Amino acid sequence: MDIKNRIDELKKILNEASVAYYVNDKPFMEDYEYDRLMNELIKLEDENPELKTPDSPTNRIGGEVLTKFTKVTHETKMMSLADAFSFDELKDFDRKIKEVTPDATYLCELKIDGLSVSLKYEKGILVRGATRGNGLVGEDITHNVKTIKSVPLRLKDDIDIEVRGEIFMPKKSFIQLNLEREENEEELFANCRNAAAGSVRQLDSKVAAKRNLDTFLYYNQDIKVKTQEEALLSMKALGFKTNPLYKHAKTIEEVFDYINEMAEKRESLEYDIDGIVIKVNEIEYHDLIGETVKYPKWAIAYKFPPEEVKTKLLDIIFQVGRTGVITPVAIFKPVFVQGSLISKATLHNEDYIKMKDIHINDNVIIHKAGDVIPEVVGPVVEDRGFDIKNFVMIDKCPSCGSPLSKINGEVDYYCLNSNCDSKRINQLIHFASKPCYNIDSLGDKLTEQLYQEGFIKDITDIFNLYSRYDDLIKLPGLGQKSIDNLLKAIDESKNNNLDLLIFGLGIRHCGAKASKIICKKYRNIDNILNATEEDMANLDDIGEIISKSIYEYMHNEENINRLTVLKLLGLNMEYHMDEIKENYFTNKKCVLTGTLSSMGRSEAKKLIESFGGSLSESVSKKTDIVIVGDNPGSKYDKAKALGVYIMNEEEFLNKINE
């Protein structure tokens, strides 16, 4: 047998089988036969590694491990699209198009809720996959792209081409992935988009290969075609997977019809969509219509309004927070809301439940407040049956059984028992969490385990764990390496800036922002201990409530002793001012709404603050900039109403990098 010819034959058969199954949905081979041929190819390539090529389907198994991602400069900028949130905005878009090209028509495509990808082929073979990044520079994710079965490793023609599209995670894969993570006590992904983004950024391609990602391609810049519809057909002919649910619309009214149709079908789709992309179909008109620095003028993305879903409220339980606050939590039949499987949501307090007239066994409407946080909008009163149960507020702590109290006329009930296990566990979890003292390796589950085993009852105990090494090694699930990593992380955390310690202490009303303001003013723990309530209240963004809370904490004997012990244990008690680089964001008050594709909220906040700016939670006339990501909430509408400057993610990244 000629081994090279056999390998080439197997590659051809298996690649064609993948296209038939994953792209065209017309399999011609049974799974067992595919597996048999794949195993034969793996064996031949293992025995003859010099004959393995980039287009081999064995690359889909994964196995390449990177130490870091390399940067990729896009030959042509990967532009984003302007957003529209109403049909009136689409009418305005249509009017501007028709002023330049009166006979233009539109191609409407589903806006897949995933992440943008660029695929580059040379002589028909995939040579590079890259993320969008900031549009100019992305990251090389070729090793992970090769594991996606709908991405052709070899095209049907030996041509040079770059195509662009979306990587996404099907809903079914998302559910399965989170079930596995739950069993392994790993943090769950919030939605399909986050899961897909986390998967393509794995350094180990074997991990990405298990995630069952998928793609839809929608753009090519190398094949000469006359329309966007022809572009989709040409890509499909080459072996790319394209979305078949597009529509050629001759008028803006037909665009509206398509949007309404897809809004109804949205829930039944096997993948998440968050809107519709409308493009001028005639490619020759694109240059005539032009583009801005940020967007092409010949395309726009219509974003669906926040999705509301009906489900059944099964129960209302109670949680004890780190301050002792008792929070009612709705438990309902799990339901998908904007890409996330939701089964519970906070009901805030007794007054909130009564105001909303919520009963157990009601059908309720769920949405995501600000497109992020699950929220119960209210009951469907007309569905109400005879099995409903009135909500009854508890009068004892569900954890320790202590009587509950209201503080200073607040609407919330509190457990005032300082030895309440739930309070103390949540205080410890808060302290070790990423936004606070950021002790790597000390996650929620381990913190609770160490508490239950008696190893940590107070913050100070965390920094004495090194003396319990012999006991720790006996705990189930903790090996020597895990313990060494934990103790190293604890030791390194002692160098954290003082504001992280103040925030981590869990002082009521004193969040991350207030902690930083206090520390910038007083610079060390002794000065904070000696500060008067009046002095603190006069600081910007502090006020009487926060200053009173900090003052009372700093003058409580138990807390003073705790801080003394932490100082003796070697924790940094000074605030080190970061050197601020002058930038566009210096002295600017910013608000972020929606999800940024390139970074998390905390990272964006750190970047803005590193240039001397600030990030606030609410939009007002004093706001300088509102930074808008995917699925922006009501803050975007308020910014438009107040005339506040609105900045998209691309401009934000450009300004950060100036």
Residue 215 host element (H or E): strand 214-220
- Distance in angstroms (rounded) separating the CA atoms of residues 235 and 212: 22
Active site residues: 111
41 backbone dihedrals φ, ψ, rounded to 5°:
-65, -45
44 is written with which tokens?
A: 């031949």
133 is written with which tokens?
A: 């990044």
Would you give the end-to-end CA distance of the chain in angstroms? Answer: 61
- Distance in angstroms (rounded) separating the CA atoms of residues 48 and 52: 7
Alpha-carbon distances of 386 from 143, 317, 330, 365, 403, rounded to whole Å: 57, 21, 20, 19, 32
Could you tell me which of 423, 420, 396, 416 has the C-alpha nearest to residue 321?
423
Residues in the chain: 658
- Distance in angstroms (rounded) separating the CA atoms of residues 169 and 191: 9
User: Residues 333, 314: contact at Cβ < 8 Å?
Assistant: yes
DSSP 8-state assignment for residue 22: I
Strands (DSSP E) found in 283-392: 299-303, 309-320, 325-337, 340-346, 363-369, 373-379
Please, what sign has the CA dihedral across residues 312, 318, 321, 325?
positive
DSSP 8-state assignment for residue 55: T
